[in-house]
């Protein structure tokens, strides 16, 4: 692992443990095993590091979802595979998902460039629009439906991590939740 990756991994760990404001760059450098000046060679400011980390984590999640999304014209099947993949990724990447949750409730979310956000959500918005166009999904604003699905993802994750579930119980709960979600939007 190169120095930049060590810095990113250390920042991820410390931001989740201590929050953005509770994590000094000197602590990140120390955790990464690099000099403080080395951190600033890669990231000019802590804000830049936070933003880069967010983009990196979201890209990692998006790659996983894309790889595990059903290749089909069936909107429900594709949406279900995206939903399941999102939650499976979250359960396998607890620290990264906690970082995403933390980021989404922080002032940093307002600093993400619109084109970055659009690239992240466009496949999901297109799928929802496709479902609306086919008469499968209620004719509601696409961003509203996306917000409902995203909220369900976060909520199910919280539920699944609040109790000791087996993998089978987790999978069954996720499947049942998708069915409820599908019934809600169709």
Q: Say what the pLDDT of residue 130 is.
A: 96
Q: Nearest Cα to 26, choosing from 11, 13, 16, 47?
A: 11
Q: Mean of the pLDDT values across residues 112-120?
A: 84
pLDDT in tens, 67-109: 999 899 999 999 999 999 999 999 999 999 999 999 999 999 8
Distance CA 175, CA 179 (A): 6
- What is the predicted pLDDT for the residue at 132? 97
pLDDT tier, 118 (very low <50, low <70, confident <90, very high otherwise)? confident
pLDDT at 120: 84
Residue range 1-44, CATH number: 1.10.10.60
Q: pLDDT tier at 148 (50, 70, 90 boundaries)?
A: very high
Q: Count the Cβ atoms, other than its own, within 10 Å of residue 147.
A: 11
pTM score, whole prediction: 0.90
**CA pair distance 169, 125, nearest whole angstrom:** 29
What CA–CA distance (Å, rounded) separates 24 from 3? Answer: 18
pLDDT in tens, 2-59: 999 999 999 999 999 999 999 999 999 999 999 999 999 999 999 999 999 999 999 9
**Residue ranges covered by each domain of the chain:** 1-44, 54-185
CA 29 to each of CA 9, 11, 40, 102: distance values in angstroms, whole numbers, following the listed order? 11, 8, 9, 21
What is the separation of C-alpha 118 from the centre of its chain, rounded to a whole number of angstroms? 14
What number is the average pLDDT over the span 126-142?
Answer: 97
Residue 33: partners with Cβ closer than 8 Å, 6 or more residues away? 6
CA distance 68 to 131: 20
Q: Mean pLDDT highest for which of 106-115, 118-127, 145-154?
A: 145-154
CATH architecture assignment, domain 54-185: Orthogonal Bundle (1.10)
């Amino acid at each position: 692992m190169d120095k930049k990756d060590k810095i990113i991994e250390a920042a991820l760990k410390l931001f989740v443990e201590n929050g953005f404001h509770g994590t000094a760059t000197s602590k990140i450098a120390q955790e990464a095993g690099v000099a403080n000046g080395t951190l600033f060679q890669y990231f000019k400011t802590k804000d830049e590091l936070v933003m880069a980390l967010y983009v990196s984590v979201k890209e990692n999640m998006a790659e996983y979802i894309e790889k595990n999304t059903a290749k089909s014209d069936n909107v429900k099947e594709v949406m279900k595979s995206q939903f399941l993949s999102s939650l499976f990724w979250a359960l396998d990447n607890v620290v990264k998902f906690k970082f995403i949750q933390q980021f989404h409730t922080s002032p940093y979310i307002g600093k993400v460039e619109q084109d970055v956000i659009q690239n992240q959500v466009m496949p999901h918005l297109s799928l929802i629009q496709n479902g609306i166009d086919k008469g499968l999904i209620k004719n509601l604003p696409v961003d509203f439906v996306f917000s409902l699905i995203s909220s369900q993802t976060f909520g199910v994750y919280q539920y699944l991590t609040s109790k000791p579930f087996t993998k089978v119980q987790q999978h069954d709960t996720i499947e049942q939740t998708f069915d409820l979600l599908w019934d809600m939007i169709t």
